[in-house]
Amino acid sequence: MSFKYFEDLWNLWYTELHNGTAGLTLKIKKVLYSGESRFQRIEVFDTYEYGKMLVLYGSIMFTERDEFVYHEMIAHVPLFVHPSPEKVLVIGGGDGGTVREVLRHPEVKNLTMVEIDQQVVEVSKKFFPTMSSGFSDPRLNLLFKDGAEFVKNDREKYDILIVDSADPVGPADVLFREEFFRNTKERLKDGGIFVAQTESPFYHPDIVKNTYSILKGLYKNVFMYWAWIPAYPSGIWSFCFCSDTLHPLENFREDKYKTLKLKTKYYNKGVHFGAFSLPNFAEELIK
Ligand code: SAM
């Protein structure tokens, strides 16, 4: 019997359900890792369509094929607005993609990353070397702690604070609560920028509505921007941009953008500006 015959018989699919009644299903080439940390199930699958992907508690965190969209947008939008982003804090981000993109900015002198689950970092280093390249950068201070506890007890202040969390379930649930958002604001220097992934306005309207009403009580300027991420529920994904002094478009740093000439696969000036133009249904949620 030829191997090809067996390969055709190998009929394994990974399905992520969204709200239990619709979802995304991907044919699996190989199960590369399956384990359990103190916090969550961790899986790595090799898929035909999207390359390798990291799955935590049954939810797709990223795939090799489209991770650049999310990580470029969560990092470069604030970093092309803040006038001198020397100190950056990332909460979550265990796969290393956000850290990789932040560290492409020479202005960043010190990046602290607070990830609750060390096993996610180890798995990412092993199976996703292109994602975890930033972990060896001397500017990185990597801590394995609960991000909510960290921002409550830390005394440092940062120019940019990025929350690259999972969905508001399990250990990440605290990262969507008012107390956490209040404490993150305390960690920002004057003129600082707060950015977080804020789920899908299509699939998670209640989470989006609640999150933005909290943020609007904390910051003078609160914006949503969005990106197209095919492996995420509905493909439309949102981020918040919050600051008391800066505007994501009026303060865009044309000079830095032109001189840095960052090589990116999704982010560019037009995408930066376009991302803040929202469809009406998303505008309604954050009114
Ligand atoms: N890009 C992905 C997304 O949008 O779904 C998420 C990126 S990353 C994989 C999310 C990380 O948040 C995970 O590594 C998870 O362990 C971490 N995390 C969850 N709760 C946390 C907490 N309370 N403090 C710090 N990190 C946390």
Q: What is the pLDDT of residues 84-124, one digit of tens each?
A: 999 999 999 999 999 999 999 999 999 999 999 999 999 99
- Asked if residue 124 lies in contact with residue 99, where contact means CB atoms within 8 angstroms, the answer is no
Does residue 151 share a domain with residue 35? no
Query: What pLDDT sits at residue 5?
Result: 63
Same domain as 142, residue 220: yes
Atom of ligand 1 nearest to the CA of 164: 7
CA of 267 to the centre of ligand 1 (A): 22
Average pLDDT rounded to a whole number, residues 248-270: 98
User: Are the C-beta atoms of 32 and 51 separated by less than 8 Å?
Assistant: no
pLDDT at 32 over 80: yes
The answer on 256 and 158 residing in a single domain is yes
Do 107 and 206 lie in one domain? The reply is: yes
Helices and strands per DSSP (H, E), number in the chain:
10, 12
Residues 36 and 99 in one domain: no
Pocket test for ligand 1, best of 116, 176, 207 (most atoms within 8 A of CB): 116
Beta-sheet pairing, 188-197 with 41-47: unpaired
The residue range of the domain holding 43 is 2-63
Strand partners, 60: 55
Percentage of residues in the chain having pLDDT higher than 70? 97
* Closest to 209 measured CA to CA, from 160, 169, 176: 176
Quick check: 1 pLDDT over 80? Answer: no
In tens, the pLDDT along 38-94 reads 999 999 999 999 999 999 999 999 999 999 999 999 999 999 999 999 999 999 999
DSSP state of 48: T
Pair (71, 41) in one structural domain: no
Q: Is 146 a catalytic residue?
A: no
CATH of the domain at 38: 2.30.140.10
Total tally of structural domains belonging to the chain = 2
Ligand 1 atom nearest to 175, measured from its CA: 23
User: Do 55 and 74 reside in the same domain of the chain?
Assistant: no
pLDDT of 35 reads: 97
* Domain termination site, one of 44, 63, 82: 63
Residues 6 and 81 in one domain: no
- pLDDT band for position 235 (cuts 50, 70, 90): very high
171 C-alpha to ligand 1 centroid (Å): 8
Rounded-to-integer distance, Cα 221 and Cα 256, Å: 23
Q: For the residues 221-225, what does the mean pLDDT come to?
A: 98
The pLDDT assigned to 156 comes to: 97
Same domain for 34 and 94: no
* pLDDT, position 262: 98
Same domain, 47 and 90: no
Among 100, 135, 165, name the best residue to mutate to test ligand 1's pocket (greatest count of ligand atoms within 8 A of Cβ). 165
